[in-house]
Chains A and B, each alone.
Chain A
C-alpha cells in the first residue's frame, strides 16, 4: 500500500527539549511538506522540500528545523526555540511535475503536547 506514515501518533515533551517527528512516504513523490494545525486556524506551512538535500522555509519556520537526506523521508525537529509547540503536525507529499497545482497527499499526523 502506498502512502505516508508519521510517527509517533502522540508525543509529549518537556519544555526546553528538542523533539523530532518522523515522516516517511513510499509514493515516489519528489516534494514533501510540513504543516502545523491549530484549532480554527487551518493549516500553516512550516517547511517544504522539492528535492533531496534542498528545503525552503514556509510561513512559520521559526523554531523548527528539517532535513531531506533521502527522497522518502522528511523529519521535522521542533526545537526549544519554538515558543508554543503544542499543536497537530501534518506531513504531506506531492509530485513536482509542473511546480503548480500538484495535489498534496497527507499523512495521519502527530499530536505534540508540551508539558
Chain B
C-alpha cells in the first residue's frame, strides 16, 4: 500500500520569501501525485498534479512541484509567497490499478509573516 509523509507540520515564511513544502511517498511503481490547498474551514482545492512525463509540473497560483523518483519526493515550491497563501497544504498519492483512491499526507500548515 502507498503512504505519504509531509515532514513539516508547520512552516512560517516571510511575505516575498521563497517556499518549499516537502512530500515523500512510498509506492513501488510510478505514482499519481497531487497537491491540494485548504483554507480554514473550507474544502480542498487542487493546485497541481503529476501523472507522467515532464517531472516539473506547473500549477495554479504560481506553484510548481518536481517529481524526483530517486528521492521518492514531490516537493511543492513557490518563488515568492503572498499573505493569501497562508493555508494548509496536502500532498496525496494515487496508484495504478487502485481505483481513484488517494492516500493523503498529514498536511503542512503555512503561516506568512508580513
Q: Point out the residues of chain B lying under 8 angstroms from A6, CB to CB.
A: 43
How distant is the Cα of A111 from the Cα of B43 in the complex, in angstroms? 11
- If A43-B90, A100-B98 touch, whether A108 touches B105 (CB-CB below 8 Å) is no
Contacts A41-B106, A103-B34 given: A108-B100 contact, CB under 8 Å? no
- Given A40-B9, A42-B105, A94-B100, the answer on whether A100 and B94 have CB atoms closer than 8 Å is yes
Among B32, B94, B97, B99, max chain A CB count under 10 A is at: B99
**Digit string of B98-114 for contact with A (CB within 8 Å is 1, else 0)?**
11111011110000000
List, in ascending order, chain B residues with CB within 8 A of A64's CB. none
Q: How many interface contacts (CB-CB < 8 Å) are there between A and B?
A: 66
Contact B90 A99 (CB under 8 A): no
B45 at the interface (CB under 8 A from A): yes
Please determine whether A96 and B105 come into contact, CB atoms closer than 8 angstroms: no
Number of contact residues on B: which range applies? 20 to 34
Seen from chain A, the residues whose Cβ lies within 8 Å of a Cβ on chain B are 4, 6, 31, 40-45, 48, 50, 58, 90, 92, 94, 96, 99-109, 111
A–B complex contacts, Cβ < 8 Å, 13 sampled? A42-B105, A45-B102, A99-B97, A100-B94, A100-B97, A100-B98, A101-B96, A101-B100, A103-B46, A104-B100, A105-B46, A106-B43, A109-B43
